Amino acid sequence: MVSGIRLRAGRAGSGRGAASMLTEAINVAKAAGAQNILVRGDAAYGNSSVIWAALRAKVGFSVVLTRTRR
């Protein structure tokens, strides 16, 4: 199911606005009757705002986390 698509400016990072887009997609899926929702994302989606959005929505998730020296 495709619940929404967003086009961003060419220079925008692919993870920009990911948490709100994820929340909208989860809400659409739940409204359509989905019960077991699993969110998957690449490294652009492996940030705290996306993870917290998934936790708040009580859905499963699998995202890639990058390792940095920070």
Domain residue extents for the chain: 1-70
pLDDT score for 58: 95
Residue with structure tokens 């009757």? 33
pLDDT in tens, 20-64: 989 999 999 999 999 999 988 888 888 889 999 999 999 999 998
Q: 9 vs 29, which has greater pLDDT?
A: 29
The conformation of residue 44, written as its DSSP 8-state character, comes to G
Taking the CA atoms of 40, 7, 4 and 47 in sequence, report the sign of the dihedral they define.
positive
What is the Cα–Cα distance from 28 to 23, expressed in whole angstroms?
A: 9
Residue with structure tokens 């199911």? 1
